[in-house]
Amino acid sequence: MLIDAKKYNAAQINELAANSSDAVIISDCCAQRYLGCGLSHQTLLIDGTPGNDLGAMMNGAMIVLQGNAQEGLGNTMNAGTIVVHGHCGDLCAYSMRGGKIYVRDGAGVRCGIHMKEYKEHKPILVVGETCGECLGEYMAGGLIIVLNRSNALKPYPLRCGIGQHGGLMLFRLADTDTTAYDHLATADELKMAAPYIEEFCAYFNESAEDYQKSRYIALRPAADDPYVGYYIKN
């Protein structure tokens, strides 16, 4: 099914997509919010720039975006896959509870806030370049990988992992960075991340070999009580 987004609003596009048994191609998308919200099995191929909350509360659908995503990508997403051939805005993967998000380029601020996992439901966020401040704030579970494709000397953003009490964040170090970090990713952590890095490379036609040879910083929960010192104990 081919949908010309210039002719419909977001609610109409979602209704057409929900009732289609075939892949849905959405052309000329421009700022329509909430596309793909709550969808469970459909495939959406989007060309353009959707509005906020693309794929919010999604339950298993597949979204491939040829363009940039705005704020709230995958907000409270439960399952499925979102692939962005461009950048994404702030609050990507907010409270994400499952599924996978692959962003080829960079991401905005406060991404991965309140990500959480339960049993087999493990959210995955892979960003090709780097992210803005406060990545993984209050993170409770899941995995965030920042691949640092441009080899920035500091791939990890400011105020990263504040209140993190679960999950794992991995940051690929620049090839020229020989610093002796004391919190590098372990072999087991890299092995666990490898399938998602390979899937990222498959979506964006890259080789996974260089990423697999690199060193990664690992950001893990700092303590059983990450909020100690923030509140007065009575």
- Closest to 71 in 3D by CA, of 101, 110, 36, 105: 110
In tens digits, the chain (234 residues) has pLDDT values of 999 999 998 899 989 988 888 899 999 999 999 999 999 989 999 999 999 999 999 999 999 999 999 999 999 999 999 999 999 999 999 999 999 999 999 999 999 999 999 999 999 999 999 999 999 999 999 999 999 999 998 898 999 999 899 999 999 999 999 899 989 999 999 999 999 999 999 999 999 998 999 999 999 987 666 666 555 554
- What is the DSSP secondary-structure string of 58-101? -EEEEEEEES---TTTTTT--EEEEEESS-B-TTTTTT--SSEE
Q: What are phi and psi of 211, to 5 degrees?
A: -65, -35
CB 137 within 8 A of CB 110: yes
Q: What share of the chain is helix, strand, coil (3-state, %, to 5)?
A: 15, 25, 60
- Residues with Cβ < 8 Å from 125, sequence gap 6 or more? 74, 92, 93, 96, 100, 101, 103, 111, 112, 115, 142, 143, 144, 145
Residue 205's CB is within 10 A of a number of other CB atoms, namely: 7
Token pair in block for residue 145: 């990988």
Q: Where along the chain do its domains lie?
A: 2-219
Q: Sign (positive/negative) of CA torsion 197, 73, 219, 60?
A: negative
**CB 62, CB 40: distance < 8 Å:** no
Give the integer Cα–Cα distance in Å for 32 and 83. Answer: 18
Q: Are 98 and 78 in contact (CB under 8 A)?
A: yes
- This prediction has a pTM of 0.94
Q: How many CA atoms lie within 13 A of 126 on its CB side?
A: 24
Domain 2-219 CATH class label: mainly beta
